[in-house]
Chain A
């Protein structure tokens, strides 16, 4: 490898790693799959290498260019995977959850699954205007993330979520799932 190629490779790696670190830091809260991110960053690496043949050009590009390249690369990867029906990789959390479930008492597991299905059924009955917000909250996202996604005020988000969860609890109560039942 020539000196120029070596410098180019080092610069490229620094640009890609800087952005990957930012994505990891904001994606850590959720189950962002490391192999998925690696696949995207590999695609970014190739695209930047094609677009910027010299280290000077690479150093001159802004991180907004890297962001646009990453978004476009991710979109292409997702489209390709869907076309070939390949699933996204499972996260470690998911495997550990499945292993835990596998060791449970069968009867207890059956009851848990039945309860979960009734909760899901009740969620699906919530008014369409509130349901997506409730789903997002139940999927583990917090109020701030919901507000940011839609550009809503904290008060509007809180109100929608409060009403949606109240609706959900009322539906569960109607189905005989009272707080006492859940404590059993």
Chain B
């Protein structure tokens, strides 16, 4: 049986099964976790197993997946625009430096190079914005940090007192709303790791956060 015949038969079987109510279906939040690649792989595989055998859940998966991909695509475009602007600026600056350096403005060039080194040091930090250090969170939480030049991806992490990572999510964006953190109530540290397009990883200074039961 060819792949196409298998696909046709599978589609026919799922159609024939019909809509027998949604009581046994996975929660919409689980489908969101699946499309956002959030949570343990085993749990996401179990969600997928149901979604691909249930017409109702599969349509929800397509809707949420399309929104997620549109968001991710847009973030990538934003990063590419920033990169392009950065490269263009560097190229123009390099041309200017070369022109001035070859001329009588060598002293000025030395001064500019020193300024650039200082600016480079400040921009190498991963800066967290919200929640503030020591915030108490019940239920949903919005995490925000500054865009890092040349970031390929961000990883938001929550670490417990023993140094164990209790929550981790990879993102292309600099802000995320987490409906369910899935961690026990208690004191944690949250931080953002940035993986640059040069493969180098940087970390923010962690902030403390208190999670209280809903």
Q: Is the CB of A87 within 8 A of B56?
A: yes
- Give the chain B neighbours of A71 by CB distance below 8 A: 32, 64, 67-68, 71
Per DSSP, chain B at the interface is: helix
Contact of B6 among A22, A40, A168 (CB under 8 A): A168
Q: What is the size, in residues, of chain B's interface with A at 8 Å between Cβ atoms?
A: 56
Q: Given contacts A32-B63, A113-B16, A150-B44, is CB(A26)–CB(B10) below 8 Å?
A: no
Interface string of B17-52 (1 = CB under 8 A from A): 101011001001100101101000100111011001
Stretch at the interface among A2-10, A52-60, A75-83: A75-83
Closest chain-A Cβ to B22's Cβ sits at a distance in Å of 6
The answer, yes or no, to whether B11 is at the interface (CB within 8 Å) is yes
Query: Per-residue CB proximity of A152-184 to B under 8 Å, as 1/0?
Result: 000000000000010011001000010100100
Question: Could you tell me if A119 and B56 are in contact, using CB atoms closer than 8 angstroms?
Answer: no
A contact residues, range: 35 or more
Q: Is B195 an interface residue (CB 8 A)?
A: no
Contact between A116 and B12, CB atoms less than 8 A apart: yes
Q: Which residues of A contact B (CB under 8 A)?
A: 19, 22-27, 30-33, 36-37, 40, 62-64, 67-68, 70-72, 74-75, 78-79, 82, 85, 87-88, 97-98, 112-113, 115-117, 119-120, 123, 128-129, 131-133, 135-140, 149-151, 165, 168-169, 172, 177, 179, 182
